[in-house]
């Protein structure tokens, strides 16, 4: 028989050992749970960071922005509707109504603009018998009985006296813009044109072309006597001090660009535009300007047509 203290000792030892073991067990369980919990947190974060949360946030952000934009749009819609006096009653077709109201607003504006343009062009009556629009080309030579009152512009150069004021205005305007314009040809008599044309033919024949070939090629750059607008006293060849060649390059100079953009304000058109060679029968001549009066000049330039097209109804 062991003494009672022996059993008490054993019991204390057992309780101690059991409590230690339990402690380890409890700790292990907690740690494992904690690890799993951490793992889950990590997983959630990694999933969230690559997909759901970011996208959700982005979507939310977009939705909020859209909502905000919608609110702004709505405010604009309502203001516009109010201005147009459209009743904004709630209806099934409220969106459609809003859209219609907006389009209606724009249509009204466009209609007004169209009308103004139409009224403008209707005011300009294209009268082929008006001296301003007198057509001179290969098919339409200058009438034999054509008479012109010439006025001297400078040196030995003359023009139809009716256009001299606009020429001075144009020269002054160019000068004010720092552009140097140099008139190198104006009125030409039939005899003068015949000399120029024959010189051209002779030059081309000297290069080995036959008379017919020379005539065909030459008449693209020097008009056949009787078919030049210069006979009318209504045409000017204009160059600039720093560029005195009559070729395409003049169109790229400051003077060439100024003339193309502004000459219509003084009644002149670029008579032989690029791309219209088949209609005019003349190469692109950025230096040759024809007087048709400011009204016609602006209309022709705005329409982007040549004189032949304009006289056929501006098409």
Contacting residues toward Zn ion, per CB under 5 A: 237, 288
Task: Please state, in angstroms and rounded to a whole number, the distance separating the CA atoms of residues 82 and 96.
Answer: 16
Q: Which CB atom, from 237 or from 265, has the smaller least distance to Zn ion?
A: 237
What is the residue-wise DSSP string for 140-180? BPPPTT----EEEEETTEEEEGGGHHHHHHHHHHHHHTT--
CB of 228 to Zn ion, least distance (A): 7
Give the C-alpha separation, 28 to 10, whole Å. 26
- DSSP sequence for 182-249: EEEE----HHHHHHHHHHHHHHHHHTT--HHHHHHHHTTTSPPTT--GGGGT-EEEEEBTTB---SGG
* 288 membership: H or E segment, kind and range: strand 288-291
3-state helix, strand, coil in the chain (%, to 5): 60, 10, 30
Min CB(235)–Zn ion separation in Å: 5
Helix (H, G, I), strand (E, B) or coil at 268: strand
With respect to Zn ion, which residue has the nearer C-beta, 231 or 288?
Answer: 288
Residue (97 or 181) nearer to Zn ion, CB: 181
Q: Which of residues 77 and 268 has its CB atom nearest to Zn ion in the complex? A: 268
Q: Min. distance of Cβ 124 from Zn ion in angstroms?
A: 25
Active site residue 285: yes
How many CB atoms are closer than 10 A to CB 155?
Answer: 8
Residue 130: CB minimum distance to Zn ion, A = 21
- Whole-angstrom Cα distance, residue 44 to residue 36? 12
Candidates 72, 92, 165, 285; catalytic one: 285
Q: Which is nearer to Zn ion, 34 or 184 (CB)?
A: 184
CB of 184 to Zn ion, least distance (A): 9
Residues annotated as catalytic are 285
């Amino acid at each position: 028989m062991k003494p009672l203290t022996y059993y008490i000792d054993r019991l204390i030892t057992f309780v101690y050992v059991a409590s230690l073991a339990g402690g380890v067990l409890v700790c292990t369980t907690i740690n494992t749970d904690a690890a799993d919990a951490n793992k889950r947190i990590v997983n959630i974060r990694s999933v969230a960071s690559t997909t759901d949360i970011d996208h959700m946030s982005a979507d939310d952000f977009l939705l909020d922005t859209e909502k905000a934009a919608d609110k702004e749009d709505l405010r604009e819609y309502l203001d516009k509707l109010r201005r147009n006096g459209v009743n904004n009653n709630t209806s099934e077709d409220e969106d459609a109504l809003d859209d219609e109201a907006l389009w209606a607003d724009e249509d009204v504006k466009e209609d007004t603009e169209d009308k103004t343009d139409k009224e403008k062009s209707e005011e300009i009556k294209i009268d082929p018998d008006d001296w301003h629009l007198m057509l001179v080309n290969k098919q339409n030579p200058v009438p034999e009985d054509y008479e012109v009152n010439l006025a001297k512009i400078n040196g030995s150069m003359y023009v139809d006296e009716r256009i001299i004021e606009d020429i001075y205005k144009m020269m002054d305007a160019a000068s004010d813009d720092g552009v140097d314009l140099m008139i190198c040809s104006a009125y030409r008599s039939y005899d003068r044109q015949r000399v120029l044309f024959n010189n051209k033919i002779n030059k081309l024949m000297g290069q080995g072309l036959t008379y017919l070939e020379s005539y065909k090629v030459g008449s693209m750059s020097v008009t056949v006597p009787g078919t030049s607008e210069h006979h009318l006293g209504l045409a000017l060849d204009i160059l600039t001090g720093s560029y005195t060649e009559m070729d395409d390059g003049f169109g790229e100079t400051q003077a060439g660009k100024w003339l193309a953009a502004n000459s219509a304000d003084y009644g002149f058109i670029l008579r032989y535009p690029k791309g219209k060679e088949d209609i005019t029968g003349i190469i692109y001549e950025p230096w040759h300007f024809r007087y048709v009066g400011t009204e016609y000049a602006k209309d022709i330039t705005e329409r982007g047509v040549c004189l032949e097209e304009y006289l056929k109804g501006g098409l």
